[in-house]
């Protein structure tokens, strides 16, 4: 009888303190299973005297019922507990998914388009695959021009066109000048062609695919002052109101006269010198690392060559125009002082999310 009572107490504490359902299952087997404690007690009935056999049997039966009952109760309790812990707490803050952002090139394309649309320029996006004729011949570039070498331009396989020659990946956006003259047939033309360009280079300032934006304005009496005004307007809008623009004589086959465009460096305000505050009486000055001279080179421009206007079926005696072509990757680099163009395309999220 003592043993029955002991097992009763031990089983009750064990069952009431067990923490999970699988352990409870083990306790059930331990006490109520075929080789469990209850059956062991029943086997002991042989050694109990006849007088007590009945009472002993009843006690064990009671214990069996009692244990079954508390195991069931415990089972219920553990189930409710686990349901509670799995239920949704609607007052908890949700998991934050990382937010995406626009690529810096996309942002710049939007900005440039907006700046030029304010002065009446229409955004075009001429194709990335072009005829050799439109990219070179129509732009007054002789067959022997070094840009037509396959070190500089990517030629596509396929049958060349009788007049237009081979197919290429556009090495610059200037073929858009011809296409826009063909499309509109007659001036006025105010176009901004933004497209992908391809040249087989890969270093800190070149990627084999990059973007250019090509501005073109053709009308009656257009001269260099209009070009300079448009460039001043763009550079001040994009780089900041203090920006100064300078034209340097240069040569392109498709413009005459031709220029390279420089803008004042925004890091040193065009001085080429950075001031470092010092505790000593004299100021320490250092050369600006970004520009070295106060000016940064933006790209090429000039007055559209009469031969190019003729290719576009426009009479050069009646109309004149200007054009420029700048790199998008480059203007962003100048604006923010980025020193490696490959950052745009290696997909490092730490770089991309700064814009």
Residues annotated within a binding site for Mg(2+): 256
Strand-pair category, 189-198 with 122-124 = parallel
Which among 340, 324, 347 is positioned nearest to 112, based on CA atoms?
Answer: 324
Answer whether 112's CB lies under 8 Å from 192's CB: yes
Shortest Å, Cβ 173 to ligand PHE:
7
Among 170, 175, 301, 320, binds ligand PHE (CB under 6 A): 301
Euclidean distance between the first and final Cα of the chain, in Å?
82
Shortest Å, Cβ 98 to ligand PHE:
37
Among 15, 323, 328, 333, binds ligand PHE (CB under 6 A): 323
Determine if 270 is a binding residue for ligand PHE (CB under 6 A).
Answer: no
140: left (phi over 0), alpha (psi -120 to 50) or beta: left
Residue 249 host element (H or E):
strand 245-252
Among 56, 136, 238, 252, binds ligand PHE (CB under 6 A): 252
Determine if 325 is a binding residue for ligand PHE (CB under 6 A).
Answer: yes
Binding-site residues: 256
Residue placing its CB nearer to ligand PHE in the complex, 104 or 299: 299
Among 235, 243, 255, 264, binds ligand PHE (CB under 6 A): 255
State both tokens at 350.
Answer: 């730490």
Determine if 321 is a binding residue for ligand PHE (CB under 6 A).
Answer: no
Determine if 217 is a binding residue for ligand PHE (CB under 6 A).
Answer: no
Shortest Å, Cβ 354 to ligand PHE:
28
31 by Cβ neighbours in 10 Å (0-12 / 13-18 / 19+) ranks as buried
Cis peptide before 188 (omega within 30 of 0): yes
Contact footprint for ligand PHE (CB under 6 A): 172, 174, 214, 252, 255, 299-302, 323-325
């Amino acid at each position: 009888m003592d043993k029955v009572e002991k097992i009763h107490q031990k089983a009750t504490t064990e069952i009431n303190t067990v923490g999970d359902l699988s352990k409870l299952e083990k306790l059930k087997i331990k006490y109520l299973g075929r080789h469990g404690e209850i059956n062991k007690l029943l086997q002991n009935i042989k050694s109990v005297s006849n007088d007590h056999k009945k009472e002993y049997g009843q006690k064990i039966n009671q214990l069996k019922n009692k244990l079954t009952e508390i195991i069931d109760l415990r089972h219920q309790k553990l189930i409710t507990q686990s349901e509670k812990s799995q239920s949704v707490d609607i007052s908890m803050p949700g998991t934050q998914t990382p937010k995406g952002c626009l690529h810096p090139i996309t942002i710049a394309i939007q900005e440039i388009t907006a700046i030029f649309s304010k002065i009446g320029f229409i955004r075009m996006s001429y194709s990335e695959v072009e005829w050799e004729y439109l990219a070179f011949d129509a732009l007054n570039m002789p067959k022997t021009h070094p840009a037509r070498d396959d070190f500089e331009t990517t030629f596509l396989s396929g049958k060349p066109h009788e007049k237009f020659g081979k197919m290429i990946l556009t090495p610059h956006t200037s073929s858009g000048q011809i296409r826009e003259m063909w499309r509109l047939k007659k001036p006025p033309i105010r176009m901004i062609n933004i497209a992908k360009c391809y040249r087989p280079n890969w270093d800190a300032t070149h990627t084999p695919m990059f973007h250019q934006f090509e501005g073109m304005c053709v009308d009656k009496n257009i001269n260099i002052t209009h070009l300079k005004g448009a460039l001043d307007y763009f550079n001040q809008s994009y780089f900041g109101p203090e920006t100064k623009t300078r034209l340097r004589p240069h040569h392109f086959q498709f413009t005459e006269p031709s220029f390279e465009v420089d803008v004042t460096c925004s890091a040193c305000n065009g001085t080429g010198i950075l001031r470092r505050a010092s505790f000593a009486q004299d100021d320490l000055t250092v050369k600006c690392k970004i520009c070295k001279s106060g000016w940064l080179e933006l790209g090429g421009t000039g007055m559209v060559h009469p031969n190019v206007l003729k290719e576009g079926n426009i009479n050069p005696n009646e109309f004149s125009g200007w054009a420029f072509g700048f790199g998008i990757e480059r203007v962003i680099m100048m604006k923010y002082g980025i020193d490696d163009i490959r950052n745009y395309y290696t997909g490092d999220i730490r770089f991309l999310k700064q814009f």
